[in-house]
Amino acid sequence: MLEKLGRFVVGGRNAIEDPAAILREAYQDAYERMYMLQEHADLAPQEHSRQALESLAQGARQQIERLRSALRERDIGLDPQPSPAAPRASMSHWERLVQDLERHQASSARLRDFAIEFASSHPSVAEFLRRLCEEDARTCERLRSLIARADPQALD
C-alpha cells in the first residue's frame, strides 16, 4: 500500500515519469478485453446478450484504435498484435459476464489511478486516460444490466 501511495508523491519511489509503458499496457488490456467480449458474445445463449456483448466488443475495438493512435502520435512503437488470454473452461453465461465486469472494473480503476498520477506531468495523457476510464465505467453499467438479466442457474 505504501509503495502505491509513494508513486503519487512528487519524486516518490516508483513514480512513473514516462507514460509510454502505461499506454502500451492499456492497449494490451483493451485488446484482451475486446477479445474476451467477442468470445463471450459468440457463446451467449440469448440473442439480446449476444447483441449487447458484440456492441461492447465494438466499443473496445474503437478504444483500441484510439490507443493505437495515441501511441503513434507519441512515436511509441507498438508491440505485435497482443495474444489473447486463454479462455477459462466450462463457465456459465452469468460467470462470463461477471468475469467481463471484473476485468472492466479493474481496468477503469487502473486508468483512473494513472490519470491522477499524470495530471500535472502529462495533462493531455491524463485527460486521455480519464476518458478511457469513463468509457470503461459505462461498459461496467451495461455489463451490470446484462448480469441482472442473466440467470446464474441456467445451463448454456
CATH number at residue 69: 1.20.1260.10
Supply the range of the domain harboring residue 56: 19-78+91-149
For the whole model, what pTM was predicted? 0.80
Q: What is the dihedral of CA 79, 84, 85, 91, to 10 degrees?
A: 160
Specify if 85 maps to a domain. Answer: no
Specify if 12 maps to a domain. Answer: no
Q: Is 11 a residue whose pLDDT tops 50?
A: no
- The mean per-residue pLDDT over the stretch 128-141 comes to 95
- The mean per-residue pLDDT over the stretch 77-95 comes to 69
Specify if 64 maps to a domain. Answer: yes
* Percent of the chain with pLDDT strictly greater than 90: 58
What pLDDT was estimated at residue 153?
59
What pLDDT was estimated at residue 85?
61
**Structure-model confidence comparison of residues 110 and 77, the more confident one:** 110
